[in-house]
């Protein structure tokens, strides 16, 4: 199975870059499934139902989110209605939406996509490792599921690495998001899981994490929070990974970074 994962989409620049290139990405990488993180797609904070539908109708198969999932309030009922968009699994079970989803390919093969939030320097949530353990009791990689993609949406690099090694051999991919900077450590772990600490951002890289520079500079220099963060509107770049898994085991054979 060829799996493409596009990193955090930030504002209009990121949306335009990904939506324009989804067809090209599928053809270029012969992707069986495309997953896109839409965590910051709406003005830099969260995603709306309309934007989510744009991605799904343009060729994305599954959408992930993150800690800004609740920022756009009208997304909440959509999370319940549409299983192709997920929120973090380690939020309370009573939270709206789904923390994991199975997506079936035209050939009948299935991929499980799930996401957990990190806890270091972030909000208080359930233990990500133990939460995934509970989910994985229902699945056997290479058995009743053909591939498993885990997004670890976290600030701390060591927390992402720890989860990668913890899940090594039990899932196909552990991909980090949230910090908006692509890392240079894409690799196959010893037991066959593809790993990267951060996929990178889909947005304008002549920026501060996809936002116009002046407000972050003001906050740096003056500790002044009065100026509003504004997302960049043009010149987006797509960063992502493409992973090929073994059809028998579900483990990964290769992982490559790409940018457009």
User: E strands within the chain?
Assistant: 2-6, 8-9, 33-37, 62-64, 100-104, 110-117, 147-153, 173-177, 187-188, 194-196, 201-202, 239-245, 252-259
**Looking at the annotation, which residues are catalytic?**
68
Cα separation, 148 vs 170, in Å, equals: 8
Q: Give yes or no for a contact between 87 and 69, defined as CB atoms under 8 angstroms apart.
A: yes
Q: Give the CA dihedral 76, 81, 82, 88, nearest 10 degrees.
A: 40
Let me know: does 14 contact 210? Beta carbons within 8 Å: yes
């Amino acid at each position: 199975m060829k799996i493409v994962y596009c990193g955090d989409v930030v504002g209009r620049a990121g949306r335009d870059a990904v939506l324009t290139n989804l067809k090209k990405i599928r053809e270029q990488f012969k992707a069986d499934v495309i997953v896109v993180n839409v965590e910051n797609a709406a003005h830099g904070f969260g995603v709306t139902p309309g934007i989510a539908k744009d991605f799904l109708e343009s060729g994305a198969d599954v959408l992930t989110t993150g800690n800004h999932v609740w920022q756009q309030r009208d997304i909440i009922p959509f999370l319940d209605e549409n299983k192709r968009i997920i929120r973090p699994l380690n939020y309370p079970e009573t939270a709206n939406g789904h923390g994991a989803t199975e997506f079936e390919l035209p050939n009948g093969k299935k991929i499980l996509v799930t996401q957990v939030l990190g806890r270091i320097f972030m909000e208080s949530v359930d233990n990500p490792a133990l939460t995934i353990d509970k989910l994985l009791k229902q699945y056997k990689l290479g058995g009743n599921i053909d591939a498993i993609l885990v997004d670890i949406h976290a600030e701390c690099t060591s927390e992402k690495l720890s989860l990668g090694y913890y899940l090594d051999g039990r899932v196909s991919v552990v991909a980090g998001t949230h910090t908006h900077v692509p890392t240079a450590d894409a690799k196959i772990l010893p037991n066959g899981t593809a790993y990267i600490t951060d996929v990178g951002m889909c947005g304008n890289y002549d920026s501060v994490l996809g936002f116009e520079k002046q407000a972050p500079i003001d906050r740096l220099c003056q500790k002044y929070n009065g100026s509003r963060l504004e997302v960049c509107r043009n010149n987006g770049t797509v960063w992502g990974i493409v992973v090929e898994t073994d059809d028998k085991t579900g483990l990964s054979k290769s992982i490559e970074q790409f940018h457009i």
